[in-house]
Amino acid sequence: MVKILVVDDELSMREFLEILLQKEGYVVESASNGNEAVELIKKKNYDIVITDIIMQPMGGVEVLRKVKEISPLTVVILITAYASTETAVDVMKAGGYDYITKPFKVEDIKQVVSNALNRKEQEKKKVLIQKKIKEEHQFGEILGKSPQMLKIFELISQVSSTKSNVFVTGESGTGKELAARAIHERSPRVSKPFVTINCGGIPDNLMESELFGHKKGSFSGALFDKMGLFETANRGTVFLDEIGDLSLPTQTKLLRVLQEKTFKRVGGTEDIVVDVRIISATNKNLEEEVMGGFFREDLYYRLNVIQIELPPLRKRREDIPLLAEYFLNKYSQEMGKEINNISDFAMKVLMEYNFPGNVRELENIIERSVALENSNIVLPESFTLSLFKKKGEDNSPEKGEDWEIPGEGLSLEKMVENLEKNLILKALKKSDNVKKRAAELLKISFRTMRYKLDKYGIKN
């Protein structure tokens, strides 16, 4: 049974609303002022509160704020004789559902109450859906029900209790940091710090200081002693994201920490002992980096004790509807929209898309769709244009399904070398001979690009 509380300092208005709403089948109670209403809300649960704005000693907007503190799921409708843009803004900012201007028609208030109840029901459904998804298919902050992800969840459970270093690989957007956090949160180190270090986001000349700290006066700008991130993470977990971007000198220093469990701050002489577990991640092929001389082989094996490879979203397509529904509910709630479904055709578009940006890209697509959608269902028109260009296609050259082998055979090694050289030349041309940009286009590190330029004798 729906329970409604009417709050108004005018007896005639309270009685009018009570009679009107009781005829509609609702259980109705009333309060003559804001203070009385707040006391009732503390004791009882109401689905809807309808309150006048202009009251003493507590106005309707303040009643709204109190209601949201005590009972966040209660829907609040305000009544005012002086509607203005400022009033609407105040009501919405405080979490109000809607407001009605006096004098109002009987049918108007019936419709607003009916809409409010529908909104409340939809919010309940969203909460239940989110809860169900989390209970059945969520592992930490990772979602999935595909066989590939269930194996990942099992592996995370197994390695969490060990002290071994973990190496997480996978394309950008597959959730490598989420996997690292899930390991930490299930480990005996859960009560200690989880420190993330983006190896590609810290300039090389500052990396040693960031990792290990420095002493005052050890270099220009070192105005005080600073604790490094490894020291901060003592007895906890260090997550080294984009580990392949570390310079060789920094790799050497990191290797010493892994071997000896000690380090010195920049400019310091004291050995600092730390106990940290290392989880590292990369979307690069570190074996190739090792072969090219850009990554230390001994460090690679120290880090890669247990490897977890996260599959790209295109290889676990059965997770797409689950993830899309989760993000739909998440952003519908955040934006205060009643978008409850994804149309069959829109879902078909998603299922046929290859998601080069993986789960992160899917989340961005759904967030943007919720922001742009004006109906209560996500339609494919709210997806980005690039999505329609790419749906159902895999035009990537690495797929190679359309290549033919001539009858006389071919030299695979020579063909791969020619292909690689031609792609490098095209990337250089496309980037106006800017090597770093060409490396980004080919999704390889700058060090790998230099190695291949030397290998093929490409001068520019």
**430: which 2 tokens?**
């496309």
Strand 48-52, strand 75-80: pairing: parallel
What CATH number is given to the structural domain containing 448? 1.10.10
For residue 146, being part of any structural domain is answered with no
Do 336 and 301 share a domain, yes or no? no
Do 275 and 340 share a domain, yes or no? no
For residue 148, being part of any structural domain is answered with no
The DSSP symbol for 382 reads: G
CA 49 to chain centre: 35
**180: which 2 tokens?**
């690292």
Whole-angstrom CA distances from 21 to 4, 29, 171, 305, 333 are 8, 10, 57, 68, 28
CA 80 to chain centre: 40
Q: CA 213, CA 48: separation in Å to the nearest integer? A: 56
* End position of a domain, from candidates 250, 283, 311: 311
For residue 406, being part of any structural domain is answered with no
Strand 272-273, strand 138-139: pairing: unpaired
Strand 237-241, strand 277-282: pairing: parallel
For residue 232, being part of any structural domain is answered with yes
Which run of H or E residues covers position 4? Answer: strand 3-7
Residues for the chain: how many in total?
460
- CA angle 291/358/284 to nearest 5° reads 10
What CATH number is given to the structural domain containing 31? 3.40.50.2300
pLDDT in tens, the chain (460 residues): 889 999 998 898 889 999 999 998 999 999 999 999 999 999 898 989 999 888 888 888 888 888 888 888 888 888 877 655 565 566 666 677 777 887 788 888 888 888 888 877 777 766 665 566 555 556 767 888 899 998 998 899 889 989 999 999 999 899 999 999 999 999 999 999 999 999 888 888 888 888 998 888 888 888 888 888 999 999 999 999 999 999 999 999 999 999 998 998 988 888 899 999 999 999 888 998 999 899 999 999 999 999 999 999 999 999 999 999 889 988 988 888 878 788 888 888 899 888 888 999 999 999 988 888 877 888 877 776 344 444 444 444 455 544 556 555 667 777 777 778 878 888 888 888 888 888 888 888 888 888 888 888 887 6
Q: What is the pTM of this model?
A: 0.58
What's the first-to-final CA gap in the chain, in angstroms? 78
Which structural domain, as residue segments, surrounds residue 27? 3-132
The answer to whether 351 touches 320, Cβ cutoff 8 Å, is yes
Task: Tell me if residue 108 falls in helix, strand or coil.
Answer: helix
Q: CA 288, CA 283: separation in Å to the nearest integer? A: 12
- Is the N-terminal amide bond of 147 cis, ω within 30° of 0? no
Do 166 and 79 share a domain, yes or no? no
